[in-house]
Amino acid sequence: MNKNTLFLMTALPLALVAASSAFAQQLGDRPAPPPTPDQAGPPPPASEEEVTFSAGSLDYDSEADIVTATGDVRMLRAGYRLRADKVIWNRKTAQVRAEGNVAVTSPGGDTLYGDSVDLTDTLKDGVVENLLLVLEDGGRLAAQRATRANEITTLERAAYTPCAVVDSEGCPKEPIWKITAVRVVHNPIKHRISYRDTRFSFMGVPILWLPGFSHPDGSQRGGASGLLMPDVRISRVNGAELSLPYYLQIAPNRDLTITPHVYSKVKPALEAQYRELNSLGAYQVGGFITHGSRLPATLQATPGMDGDRGIRAYFDANGRFQLDPDWSITGTARYSTDRTFLRRYDISDDDRLRSGINAERITRDSYLSIAGWAVQTLRAGADQGQQPIALPAIDYRRRFDDPWAGGRFELQLNSLGILRTEGQDTQRAFAGLRWDMRRFTGLGQELTLTGYARADLYHTSDILETTTISYRGDDGWSGRGIAALAADIRWPFVGELLGGTQRLTPRFQLVAAPNIANLRVPNEDARAVDLEDSNLFALNRFPGYDRWEDGSRATYGAEWAFDRPRLSIRGVIGQSYRLADREIILPAGTGLSGRFSDIVGRLTLRYGRFVELTERFRLDKTSLAVRRNEVDATIGTRRTYVSLGYLRLNRDIDPAIEDLRDREEIRLGGRLQLARYWSIFGSTVVDLTGRGEDPLSRADGYQPIRNRVGLLYADDCFEMGVTWRRDYAQTGDARRGSTFLLRLALKNIGR
């Protein structure tokens, strides 16, 4: 009987044809259920080679040497379970035949049904009559006859669907989509499934006939070569668009996807992406190219307006390589031939493209980065010659224990070169040393002492090319020394509250620093200074290295946390006070310009997975007017939810400082589950900035940026979505207008 159970192994190759086709009348459930582990039957085998079985009766014909088992025959071997009405084993011919309500369940959960199964003496090839294969993922494959020879499986008059064949009440129904074919062949050597005389049906109606059709069988990692699902769009700018990707697997670790794009209003385009994974890491290279007309980004295009004709393209590459346990290299490259190409062809909304390379060495106590990067601006009216090129950017840090007081030192060496083709050039180098020591007092207070010292050396030229005077620094060579001392103490109090636990942590910090010659050196990386809860207790509240907050100050605040089942609340609030009354370089409106700073805080609320809310705020120290209000909220379940994002910066900063403009915007999005499979979704972004927030703004206080609304049907085997999107921004030939996107996805088809 050991040979008999090898029949079970023939069910596994047939399962690989799960992306095949079938006849609807054969896809329904069979009368007899499959064998399950909890049913009465033979005991489990002691090893994978052993076979156990049970039957109502067992007959042996000694002259013909035939063993016949009848009456609910059940067999177990290596995780496979067989049930049949009768099993006949001819020991002379080494043929095995299972008859009557045959069902086989594999260890993976797939179940094969058949009226009868015949095996050859190799027990690897065989024939199944009236096949039904129910896959673990819900897919169904049916055929009048299935044969397997030399590892190739052939199904005659076959059908496949991953869709449900019964409704919610258990009554038979037509699957949403299915594939039927006269013949289906699975070749495991080529990892492909091929069809002859194929028909695709949707809702019971044939919609496509193909004389031949093939796709990967899914057994290879990353899939195999073949067509992917098409993409259909209709936009005001480009007209109707059809893109049909073709996936080419060059090797198990390399692939290429080529996507032609055909438009009704503009010339075709070609997109390609190459990916590779090797022993050092992974990288990908992509591009998009076409030939057409383009207009300067500063022009407002009108219908019929034509521009310069030529090649328009976009290049994008990135990767990361781990050379050894310590060293790694990360790189990215992005380039566009013009400023409107990405938006015109709906590739990206980015207004800056950054390219760079970074070699890093990371050990337990040290870090080294050697990098370089460049920026291409896509903003209308921005001067490309003013965009920085950093070469090189070097940063080295080393930590080591303090042998005297038990603290820890961190040494930092930094060098940066900024070049511009038509602007100010800057070179910087500094060496800094920081000491930190943390201790806990007997009362439970956490005390942190910090000392910092740094020496800077700068060289700059062409300073008149920089519009903002405070960013220029002195022409030529200049130096600067920085020193600071700080003491930071926290005192947490923990107790019960409303059936939960609360933690209140007052915090106080003193920072002392001498006068710093900030304006003698240029400002390249510390321009967008703004007081927030994240930098309230920072040693330097400027975001970069080129500016240092000098003087002495005291910062005070508190953190509060409350936790109970499914509910979590976090809050922080604080303010700082300058101990010396003297002029500082921080611009008015940043929240740090007076002796008292503005009041900043953050509140975070989470209730299970239903509510997540975060609000960051800044209140004017005098009038308590809201200078910054930032809200991010998500309310709802995975199927139905609303998300809200709101930002208002009302800081009244000098408009000449371009990095600190005020603005106001709101972002809304959501999804509503209408029925079991139907949902609608949408989002909008609205610019609420007016002349009150930004005197240089052209907005009227209510300027939509982008709206999106869609309808989606998604079940276990089919997905269809229709999306309408409208863009209101207009730059050159990237005109405002509407775009319609149709998306279809059939489960288990393609790679």
Question: pLDDT for 322-353, tens place per residue?
Answer: 999 999 999 999 999 998 899 889 898 888 99
- What is the extent of the structural domain holding 206? 52-222
For the segment 135-185, what is each residue's pLDDT rounded down to a tens digit? 666 677 788 888 877 768 788 988 888 787 877 777 777 888 888 889 888
pLDDT at position 468? 86
pLDDT over 60 at 30, yes or no: yes
Residue 77 is predicted with a pLDDT of 72
* DSSP designation for 6: H
- pLDDT value, residue 297: 65
pLDDT band at 134 (very low <50, low <70, confident <90, very high): confident
Dihedral in degrees, nearest 10, Cα atoms 6, 7, 8, 11: 130
pLDDT in tens, 254-305: 999 999 999 999 999 999 999 999 999 999 999 999 998 877 766 665 555 5
Predicted confidence at residue 559, as pLDDT, reads 96
Q: Is the pLDDT of residue 23 over 50?
A: no
400-409, 445-454, 522-531, 579-588: range with lowest mean pLDDT: 579-588
In this prediction, residues 563-584 reach a mean pLDDT of 92
Helix residue ranges, H only, 143-295 = none
Give the model confidence (pLDDT) of 596-605 as tens digits: 999 999 999 9
- Residues 6+ away with beta carbon under 8 Å from 583: none
Is residue 141 included in any domain, yes or no?
Answer: yes
Residue 197 lies in a domain: yes
> How far apart are alpha carbons 36 and 465 in whole angstroms?
80
Q: Residue 415: pLDDT above 60?
A: yes
414 within 8 A of 397, measured Cβ to Cβ: no
For residue 10, being part of any structural domain is answered with: no
- Domain harbouring 198, CATH code: 2.60.450.10
Of 27-36, 360-369, 440-449, 736-745, the least confident = 27-36
The CA distance from 198 to 202, in Å, is 13
Q: Is residue 361 part of a domain?
A: no
pLDDT over 70 at 558, yes or no = yes
Average pLDDT value for the chain = 84
Percentage of the chain beyond pLDDT 90 is 46
pLDDT in tens, 420-460: 999 999 999 999 999 999 999 988 999 999 999 999 999 99
**Tens-digit pLDDT profile for residues 193-235:** 788 888 888 878 888 888 887 766 656 655 667 777 788 888 8
Contacts of 538 by beta carbon, 8 Å cutoff, 6+ apart: none
Bridge pairing between strands 66-77 and 246-251: unpaired
- Any domain includes 105: yes
* pLDDT recorded at residue 10: 31
Q: What confidence score (pLDDT) does residue 432 get?
A: 97
Question: Is the CB of residue 202 less than 8 Å from the CB of residue 212?
Answer: no
pLDDT of residue 31: 64
Higher pLDDT, 32 or 341: 341
**Bridge-partner residues for 74, per DSSP?**
54, 83
**pLDDT of 735 strictly over 80:** no
- Separation CA 373–CA 390 (nearest Å): 5
| Predicted pLDDT of residue 26 | 60
Return the structure tokens found at 68: 């016949």
Confidence of residue 408 (pLDDT cuts 50, 70, 90): very high
Query: What's residue 750's pLDDT?
Result: 47
**Confidence (pLDDT) at 433:** 97
Peptide bond into 392 cis (omega under 30): yes
Q: Decide if 151 is inside a domain.
A: yes
| Selection from 410, 501, 427 nearest residue 462 by Cα | 427
Residue 595 in any domain: the answer is no
% of the chain exceeding 70 in pLDDT = 86
d(CA 248, CA 258): 8
Alpha helix segments (H runs only) across 296-395: 341-344
Taking the CB of residue 501, how many other CB atoms lie within 10 A of it? 13
Answer yes or no: is pLDDT of 123 > 70: no
pLDDT at residue 15 tops 50: no
> pLDDT value at position 698?
64
Structure tokens at 477: 């060579």
Single pTM value for the model: 0.78
Is the pLDDT score of 53 beyond 80?
no
How many domains does one find in the chain?
Answer: 1
| pLDDT score of 41 | 65
Average the pLDDT over 623-645 and give the result.
94
- For the chain, the residue count is 751
Q: What pLDDT is attached to residue 115?
A: 82
Work out the average pLDDT over 94-101. Answer: 81
Mean pLDDT of 83-87: 86
Question: Can you count the helices (H) and strands (E) in the chain?
Answer: 3, 41
Q: How far apart, in Å, do the first and last CA atoms of the chain sit?
A: 39
- What is the pLDDT at residue 728? 80
pLDDT value of position 220: 61
Contact 359, 329 (CB under 8 A): yes
Distance CA 371, CA 364 (A): 21
274 and 256 Cβ atoms separated by less than 8 Å? yes
Question: Is 95 a domain residue?
Answer: yes
For 364-382, write each residue's pLDDT tens digit: 999 999 999 999 999 888 8
Residue 14 pLDDT greater than 60, yes or no:
no
Contact of 184 with 22, CB cutoff 8 Å: no
SS3 readout for 509-547? EEEECCCCCHHHCCCCCCCCCCCCCCCCCCCCCCCCCCC
